Chain A
Amino acid sequence: MKKSITLMGAIALLFAISSFTSSLVSVNAGGDDIIGLWEPSNGKARVKIEKIGSKYYGKIVWLREPIDPTTQKPKVDKNNEDAKMRNVPLRGYRLLKDFVYDEESKEWSGGTIYDPESGSLYSCVITMKNDVLNIRGYVGVKALGRTDTWKRIKLKKKK
């Protein structure tokens, strides 16, 4: 009897350990796939998505036209509603913020996307299929939004 209890205890322990381990794995499974370098459909910029803490953020690391033709200086966030933040350079600007990955729906949500061309901030949800991101920005209702597709940029490693 004592032996069978010990055996059952061991099985229970193994089961508990395997459940715990698989739950740990599932927390991040898939979520980090978004990390990397991406290009919006208009090809005007490249955005690097990274993870800070438990959330995902994306910033502009490359601009096709980095110089503002009016000022002949690097482009800045001139449309920001806060006048004191209008000198922040667009190159390096964090335009995707606060995305959390939902394992069930396989989407990154809860975040925002900033459009520097209008100075507008939109709610945003991101899905990914075959290394293509569907970035849906919206105000209020998700159905009334616009989706852009971003392709992954694979950089060749320097030799």
Chain B
Amino acid sequence: MSAEQRTMQTLITNARLVDPRSGRDERGVLALADGRIVAAGRSAPHDFTAERTIDAAGAVVAPGLVDLCARLGEPGHEHEGMLESELAAAVAGGVTSVVCPPDTDPVLDEPGLVEMLKFRARSLDLARVFPLGALTRGLGGEAITEMAELTEAGCIGFGQADVAIRDTLVLHRALQYAATFGFTVWLRPNDAWLGQGVAAKGPLATRMGLSGVPVLAETIAMETFFELVRDTGARVHLSRLSSAAGVELVRRAKAEGLPVGCDVSIHQLHLIDVDMGYFDAATRLVPPLRQQRDRDAIRAGLADGTIDALVSDHTPVTEDAKHRPFAEAEPGATGLELLLGLALKWGESMRLDLASTLAAVTSRPGAVLVRSSLGDASAPSGLAIGAPADLCVFDADCSWAVDTNRLCSCSRHTPFAGHELRGRIRWTLVAGRVAHEDRSVDAAGD
């Protein structure tokens, strides 16, 4: 059925077309064929015969969201069907391209594992999956992986997830080797020793008696990375910044012309340490939530382009793993289905127009992905003619409350539970095929 649907010629009518890449925001129609956008304009081309029409009245049609950091539980949780539930969560959130880190079980350090993941994701026919391979075997920080082989298997870059490389010599060589082939290295800046706490260092962590991660853990790691980038010329993407000082270091590195980019998660964009409340394990996150001034700098940095992208940092965590004392609780939260709503909330508070807001979750992460994948054809490229028909159709003004029992993800923990968000997804299309449709018609507005 899906193959048949894929080739179906589709016309989306009455749409508000918002293309963050070009800044276009206008009413019109979008014609899709062979999984690609074939026409966009005031009306359908005369020679286009629609086999299916989607009436997008009242809705925004935008490129599908690109999430640069979401864990999908595979390899590791095949028996629970986690890949299916999490990719269903992706498309339910309007996310059509997902970059997943290599800290799976086993670690993504062998081509066979990557091929299997790509194959299983393709057969589910939901969102596109772009795995990051491990930079070192088993993320052990000792031996580098077969990066060329892994790239052939489908990796779009190499990283260490949240495991820091302690040995600077290994890190230096890993960057040299990656730079040989132009591969991008994705690293979360966190000093292995200073970064061991469970909350952000500061008055609140001190008051709560929780071990704190100082800002230094981030900035010292970043300074090390930047020196290595200067020496090796490797392209580095910094994952999930947490501090104002970190944002400032990236700003200077970019001004200097270093080949670096970075992203930030929905948690650091909206929350601060005070949100930990009375040891709420839903706020046990990596990196930990910092202070108000850090959040303010992150919000401004995402708006001015210092920070390239907003990510969900989606991490499925079971009930049992969260129902523990704060420090013992497993870090992470579900986020794929909240990415759009939290991007809109940020854009609204920063007084950005819709196209600029959406850029932080579509074209800008898309550009990071395209660069990192060395121009992989299936990488997203907006609403341009010929671009893959990866689309997100949503009601921008329809608000909904985050009810964790109604999420597609198998994981129910998020510090945003109960929050009111705007932006209700009506359809998500991947390669021209409807991968998600909101069936609760009454919620559509009117």
Q: Is chain B a partner of chain A in the same complex?
A: no
The chain A residues found within 8 Å of chain B, CB to CB, are none
